[in-house]
Amino acid sequence: MLRGLVVIALLGGCSDHRPVAPPPPAKDPLDVVLGSPGVPPRRELRYAPAKGASSSLEIALDVDLGAGEMGGAMPTVVLDLDLAITDVAPDGRIAVRATITDASARDRAEAKVPAASVADQVAKLKGAAFVLALAPDGKVAEQTIEAGARPLPSAMQQQLAALASSFANLAMRLPHDPVGVGATWTSARTIQQAGMITTATTSVELTKLDGTKLSFTTTTRITGKDQTVTPQPGAPSIDVSNITGSGSASGVVDLATLATTGAVSLELHADMTNGAEKTPMVMTMKQTVTAR
């Protein structure tokens, strides 16, 4: 023991006392990874709207949900959305408010129920708002949901939460480095919906740059760990396993207003186990966003 103390003392005495460099910060697994910078000319892409900028969008959402012999296609849900930039901080952080000014249901040929049967429930989404704090590179710092004047049943609260997640994703994550047409990059995000947590990894290709507007295509891969979820308050818990999914999108985003228009398609597969019964679940979603 004495010899050990002497060795430690000698080593300490021989030290040059230079400060040890701190370890590099841990890499954010959800950060943007640049694949290719594209062709010149290249420039930095950042959201830079002016305070007070606004735009109006229409979102049409088609969802098919099947679990064994249950479920099926639902009527189209149509939302009118007013997007407003309420503040821009000195560091560039953007305060965004998106308000549902109208909500309705539209008949689909594939739907098993008429739009009239869900119209009253969908209409309760009118007046709800999503509030975001967004970094100039598209990273969401904060997000809150404000329900409308009318109370929502639990099923519609889940739908509103899903819409809030979808709205947050309208702001595409942007690469840190200057890029040009043909650039590719990848980013990941965590999705929480109906009690289930998944990770969506999206690859983006920049197809056109026109002033503040950029055109893009994306492909998405969805994965999730086996987990136990409670779809809604009071419902029994369900074990969910073998979660996989994929999706694609194309559209145009305006860096000066944050308005994103285009089309998204998504398919999600999982096995749901309740007791001894295992049921395969398939959900497909198609969403189109157009300017009003």
Using CA atoms, how far apart are residues 224 and 236, in angstroms rounded to an integer? 20
Cβ atoms of 236 and 273 closer than 8 Å? no
List C-alpha distances in Å: 249 to 90, 98, 119, 170: 33, 21, 28, 11
Which of 44, 273, 37 lies closest to 138, judged by CA? 44
Q: Which residue has the higher pLDDT, 40 or 73?
A: 40
Residue 287 has a CB neighbour count (10 Å cut-off) of 19
38 has pLDDT over 70: yes
The dotted CATH code for 28-291 is 2.30.230
pLDDT at 29: 61
List C-alpha distances in Å: 76 to 57, 104, 116, 233, 281: 16, 8, 11, 25, 20
Kindly report, residue by residue over 168-196, the tens digit of the pLDDT. 566 789 999 999 999 999 999 888 776 78
- Helices H, strands E: what count in the chain? 3, 14
Kindly report, residue by residue over 121-143, the tens digit of the pLDDT. 889 889 988 888 999 999 988 77
Q: Indicate the pLDDT class of residue 10, thresholds 50, 70 and 90.
A: very low
For 284, half-sphere exposure in the C-beta direction (CA atoms, 13 angstrom radius) is 8
Cβ atoms of 81 and 127 closer than 8 Å? no
Q: Residue 120: enclosing H or E segment and its boundaries? A: helix 119-123
Q: Indicate the pLDDT class of residue 167, thresholds 50, 70 and 90.
A: low
Using CA atoms, how far apart are residues 204 and 172, in angstroms rounded to an integer? 9
- How do 260-274 and 213-224 pair as beta strands? unpaired
pLDDT at 237: 86
For 84, half-sphere exposure in the C-beta direction (CA atoms, 13 angstrom radius) is 12
Structural tokens at position 272: 């749901």
Torsion (CA) 56, 256, 286, 198 in degrees, nearest 10: -120
**Residue 13 — φ and ψ, nearest 5°?**
-70, -30
Domain boundary assignment for the chain: 28-291
42 has pLDDT over 50: yes
**Cβ-based neighbours of 53, under 8 Å, separated by 6 or more:** 84, 85, 256, 257, 258
Torsion (CA) 157, 243, 185, 23 in degrees, nearest 10: 90
* DSSP type of residue 239: E
288 has pLDDT over 70: yes
pLDDT at 163: 66
Please give the model's pTM, rounded to 2 decimal places.
0.83
Please give the distance of CA 190 from its chain centroid, rounded to a whole number.
8
List C-alpha distances in Å: 83 to 15, 46, 54, 138: 61, 18, 5, 15
Taking only Cα atoms into account, the Rg of the chain, rounded to an integer number of angstroms, comes to: 24
